[in-house]
Amino acid sequence: MADKTRFVFVTGGVVSSLGKGIAAASLAALFEARGLTVAMQKLDPYINVDPGTMSPFQHGEVFVTDDGAETDLDLGYYERFTHTHTSKRSNYTTGRIYESVIRRERRGDYLGATVQVIPHITNAIKNAILSLRADEPDIALVEIGGTVGDIESLPFLEAIRQLRFDLGRERTAFIHLTLVPYIRAAGELKTKPTQHSVQKLREIGIQPDVLLCRSEKPIGKGQRDKIALFCNVPSHAVIEVLDVDTIYEVPLKLNEGGLSSVILDHFGMHNPEPDLSVWEDICKKAREASETVRIAMVGKYVELADAYKSLNEALMHAGLTHGVRVEVDYVDAEVLEREGLERLKKSDAVLVPGGFGERGTEGKIAAIRYVRENKVPYFGICLGMQLAVVEFSRNVAGLRGAGSSEFDEKVEHPVIALMTQWEQEGVRVQRGHNDDLGGTMRLGGYPCKLKADSHAGRAYDESDIRERHRHRYEFNNTYRKQLEEAGLIVSGTLPDDSLVEVIEAPDHPWFVGCQFHPEFLSRPYAAHPLFTAFVGAAKKARA
């Protein structure tokens, strides 16, 4: 029954970027390791409807779900740490909540009532949270973005306060993640920020059941007792969270602190101790990797590593499979345009990730030509695949004026173009929720058919796959025959052969471009086949 679901709410205090997403995902992993089913959700206080149109420099990566939602990057942690599949109901923003309420008001659903934050906005938030019960999980974990004390997050905090009242203490638990800073000059940890953060929560009407205390130094029993006394939380529910070498060690550390046991005791649930052998094996592989491969990631958002969060993790997962550490050299494509390609010679392989806009594209194309001609392993994702087609068209197929209509609507040979023509011919694509920028994109999961005798086919070892997309422009089928005759290998298409999904260069040890984003499906316990093959090729090139 749906009523069996218990809810765990995770809030943050003192400062942002303490790792609420990783903590929530790690707790979910502990529940799964005890045989429980989980669902996860992120509530973001910003007014944007979704992060799809936000700058990666501000927000980091946009994580895409199979059903086509553009979401917060924390959902990537949720999927990598658990076996759950996130969806549109896994991420709600202030903008999305208000949009739904205003739409209902315009339709007259409120029968002329004055629409207010309480109860209309908070009811919409509660309904979004309770939608997690649809799959009947044992436990639903809900992360509240932002920091306690922010004006933006107040409606969300009020909504979860009301849910404690609606559902009862035995079906709701509050976890608060705070900072216990170490003051080097004084040589001691300070508990006052945590006390103030909890005081702010209690003013709102929320009493935490568990405190997770981030610190760079161990928190002694005396300090934990002090926090417990002033924050009205049992001492055994004050759990330290120290920095670790790899984020995949966090479930092990939280288990040592007894976090999942505290929550299950709170719920009156009695499940066996967690089997954490998978996480122990992952950490063991990470510690024992002695060899290093160096991969140049040629992009335009390289100043912020979070812009490529899933990519970085997917490369690490593949490295674990091969027993190597993957060192990523973030290369600004515009630097290559100004200073040349000498820097690429220091790397064992090159990856060009997805992106939007013209800036840096000529530097990426130059890098792609270098790796194709010098037989350096190459992996192009989304835009990286499209620019590989442009490079091949210009320098192999003789189409000197080849380009993408994304950057020049009057380009002589638009080998990459909008899909409008093919849609009219019957290609069905999954769109955004309306006619705005998100509504013009091909989003979410699509099937793909692979050629068995290809790098991609051998990597997957199967012919029928499904991957997630996020793009507007496609391989232009008008040029397909001409490019294939010039040697370009089309190794993956939609099952009806209507859209090109994977391309490869001929006579190359490993040169693959894919229109989809395989990084979204990589897991530490199951590295993605394309990343595994790519890192394997880089390892071989280094030998």
State how far the Cα of 497 lies from the Cα of 514, in Å rounded to an integer: 15
CATH of domain 2-281: 3.40.50.300
CATH of 289-542 among 3.30.870.10, 3.40.50.880, 1.10.3210.10, 3.60.15.10: 3.40.50.880
Question: Is residue 119 reached through a cis peptide bond, with omega within 30 degrees of 0 on the bond before it?
Answer: yes
The amino acid sitting at 396 is V
Which pLDDT score, from 0 to 100, does residue 426 have? 42
What tokens were used for 489? 């290998």
Tokens 């996020």 locate to: 470
Closest to 152 measured CA to CA, from 69, 75, 90, 95 = 95
Respond yes or no: is residue 514 known to be catalytic: no
Query: How many helices and strands, by DSSP H and E, does the chain display?
Result: 19, 23
Contacts of 449 (CB under 8 A, 6+ apart): 463, 464, 492, 493, 494, 495, 497
> What pLDDT is recorded for position 420?
60
Where do runs of H (alpha helix) occur along 323-465?
Answer: 333-339, 361-373, 383-395, 420-424, 455-460
99 is catalytic: no
Selecting among 213, 382, 448, 514, the annotated active-site residue is 382
Relative orientation angle of helices 20-33 and 259-267, to the nearest 10 degrees: 70
pTM as predicted: 0.92
User: Exposure of 270 by Cβ count < 10 A (0-12 exposed, 13-18 middle, 19+ buried)?
Assistant: exposed
Report the alpha-carbon distance of residue 537 to residue 371 in Å, rounded.
Answer: 13
The rounded Cα 255 to chain-centroid distance in angstroms is 24
Written as six digits, the tokens of 194 are 């945590």
CA neighbor of 9 nearest in space, from 20, 18, 22: 20
Q: Which of 176, 317, 455, 517 is the catalytic position? A: 517
Whole-Å CA distances, 32 to 174, 180, 219: 19, 29, 28
Give the residue from 319, 18, 31 showing the smallest Cα distance to 8: 31
Tell me whether the CATH fold assigned to 2-281 matches the one assigned to 289-542: yes
pLDDT of residue 331: 94
pLDDT in tens, 52-63: 878 776 777 999
Do residues 517 and 355 touch, judged by C-beta distance below 8 A? Answer: no
Phi, psi of 34 (to 5 degrees): -95, 5
Please state, in angstroms and rounded to a whole number, the distance separating the CA atoms of residues 401 and 455.
29
Considering the candidates 120, 158, 519, 528, report the single residue annotated as catalytic: 519
Question: Phi/psi zone of residue 461: left (φ > 0), alpha (ψ -120 to 50 degrees), beta?
Answer: left
Alpha carbon distance 177, 180 (integer Å): 10
> What are the domain boundaries of the chain?
2-281, 289-542
Instruction: Kindly give the pairing relationship between strand 500-504 and strand 464-471.
Output: unpaired
* 519 is annotated as an active-site residue: yes
| pLDDT of res. 128 | 97
For 440-478, the pLDDT digits (tens) are 689 999 999 999 999 999 999 999 999 999 999 999 999
> Are residues 509 and 373 in contact, defined by beta-carbon separation less than 8 angstroms?
no
Q: Which residues pair with 418 in a beta bridge?
A: 473
Say what the pLDDT of residue 433 is.
39
Sequence-ordered alpha helix ranges (H) in 257-342: 259-267, 277-288, 309-322, 333-339
Residue 177, strand partner residues: 12, 212
Q: What are phi and psi of 184, to 5 degrees?
A: -65, -40
What tokens does 535 get? Answer: 């890192």
Identify the segments of the chain with pLDDT beneath 50.
Answer: 1, 421-439
Contact 432, 441 (CB under 8 A): yes
- Per-residue model confidence (pLDDT) at position 438: 45
